[in-house]
Amino acid sequence: MNFAHVAIIGLGLQGGSIGLAVQEFLPGTRVSGYDLDPAHRARAAERGLAHVVHDSAEDAVREADLVIFCVPPGVMGDAARAVRPALRPDALISDVGSCKGSIARALGEALPDHFVIPAHPVAGTEHSGPDAGFAHLFRNRWCIITPPEQTDLLKLSALVEFWEALGANVEHMNAEHHDLVLAVTSHLPHLIAYTIVGTASDLENVTQSEVIKYSAGGFRDFTRIAASDPTMWRDVFLNNKDAVLEMLGRFTEDLTALQRSIRMGDGEALFGHFARTRAIRRSIIEEGQDDSRPDFGRGDHEGIVPAA
């Protein structure tokens, strides 16, 4: 089953990249798009993120057989309700958000008579807006699909084929497990990055601006993560708070243990911990989810980092 018409609501990094990728890798599929921000719509049209960028969300989804919501988690339900009158009865509804439990509930409540299969492409950069999208964002990245217990297998298969056509590796999970995994691999690291960069900002006067001037690779990479879209990340933490708080508790315990090792001069414990985490880094490279070259190979493309 191929989708003849894909509608994208939200034309930022994810939505814009989907639009460009569909046009490159699924040339027979029509793409329509909409963004709430008029300036974003104008820029999306200039860049050709969709065949047609509409001035209303209803017009964008009309006759579409796949509708993908690429909006912050906190407004997912409102965006779905806004287009409900114009949706085809058999349209498949999906999204790209990183909080699958709350988003599945929001879309299900807003569109109770439609097929909803949430998805999460785990790919992104620190950039946002219609200028950020590019067609190869999803190449060799994971897309996690979280189908409900009762789902249309033909539509599920079509959604899997859609993401594979865009270059993604597809995995299935239930929503609760997804949210726990992403709390560890994405949400907590972002929270830590925001905290470290915020602390450095507070210390700028104390260090006479040397924190910024002498930023080494580690701090620089934290600032790159902390440059991500604040609206989206606010909604991520509010919508996945249970899993994030659980992982934050575990992290706090581990941090306390490291603090104790440093205070007690326990070099063996520190070395063992660092050796174990180094092995994890090597595993990530072996899985093809990052680059071992200097500067992570960022000079070759647009600085792809794991997204929400």
126, 146 Cβ separation under 8 angstroms: no
Which of 13-17, 149-153, 183-187 is the most confident on average?
13-17
pLDDT value, residue 5: 98
Q: Give the pLDDT mean for 152-173.
A: 95
pLDDT value, residue 115: 94
Q: Which of 186, 178, 34 is nearest to 119 (CA)?
A: 178
For residue 42, pLDDT beyond 90: yes
pLDDT value, residue 59: 97
pLDDT value, residue 240: 84
67, 9 Cβ separation under 8 angstroms: yes
**β-strand pairing of 5-9 with 30-34:** parallel
pLDDT digits (tens, 9 = 90+) for 256-277: 988 999 999 989 988 888 888 8
pLDDT digits (tens, 9 = 90+) for 71-129: 998 899 999 999 999 999 999 999 999 899 999 999 999 999 999 999 999 987 778 89
**Who wins on pLDDT, 4 or 299?**
4
**Who wins on pLDDT, 159 or 254?**
159
153, 82 Cβ separation under 8 angstroms: no
Q: Which of 176, 216, 184 is nearest to 200 (CA)?
A: 216
For residue 16, pLDDT beyond 70: yes
The hierarchical CATH code for the domain 177-300 is 1.10.3660.10
The CATH label, of 3.40.50.2300, 1.10.8.870, 3.10.690.10, 3.40.50.720, for the domain at 5-173 is 3.40.50.720
Structure tokens at 127: 């950039």
The pLDDT mean for the chain works out to 86
pLDDT value, residue 281: 65
pLDDT value, residue 286: 62
Q: Give the pLDDT mean for 243-257.
A: 88
Contacts of 152 (CB under 8 A, 6+ apart): 115
Identity of the amino acid at 222: F
pLDDT value, residue 66: 98
Distances (CA, A) of 79 to 8, 60, 63, 191: 11, 12, 17, 26
Where is average pLDDT lowest: 55-59, 246-250, 260-264? 246-250
Distances (CA, A) of 299 to 14, 205, 285: 21, 33, 17
Domain ranges of the chain: 5-173, 177-300
CA 189 to chain centre: 13
Confidence bin at 58 (pLDDT 50/70/90): very high
Identity of the amino acid at 7: A
